[in-house]
Amino acid sequence: MTLESGPAVRLTILVRADDRWHHRPLYTEIVHRAHAHGLAGASVFHGIEGFGRSEKIHTSRILDLGDDLPCSIIIVDLEDRIRGFLPELDELVPSGLVLLDPVEVVRHAAREPGRESDRKH
């Protein structure tokens, strides 16, 4: 789905990178469900350091390598479409943080396959 310029909502889901859903990464399950739900797009970002309710700092530094680093999944779409997706998260995210923020889409354009100007040099 394409997203027109204008008001939208950003859904941010903060979980641990090592959280699982039936033997696969939780973030993968969330992205695949968002895709199946027809949302405009989703991205996953792995954190290098953070803390949450446990108040324990998790880090990727080599001397203090953590196996439970933070991970965020960001999805942007129209508010009604995002709110329609929230029940999926009730099942998937028993612990973590789910945020909704109003945003303004300035540009949402897909790359045309094979265009040289879109490739990094």
Domains present along the chain, CATH in parentheses? 18-106 (3.30.70.120)
- Total residues found in the chain within this entry: 121
- What whole-number distance in Å separates Cα of residue 18 and Cα of residue 65? 13
Q: What is the pLDDT of residues 65-114, one digit of tens each?
A: 555 678 999 999 999 999 999 999 998 998 889 999 999 999 867 666 66
Q: Which residue has the higher pLDDT, 2 or 118?
A: 2
Which helix H or strand E contains 74, and what residues bound it? strand 70-77
Model pTM?
A: 0.78
83, 71, 69: which is closest to 39 by C-alpha?
A: 83
Instruction: Give the distance, in angstroms, between the CA of residue 12 and the centroid of all CA atoms in the same chain.
Output: 6
pLDDT at 70: 83
Direct distance between the N- and C-terminal alpha carbons of the chain, in angstroms, rounded to an integer: 29
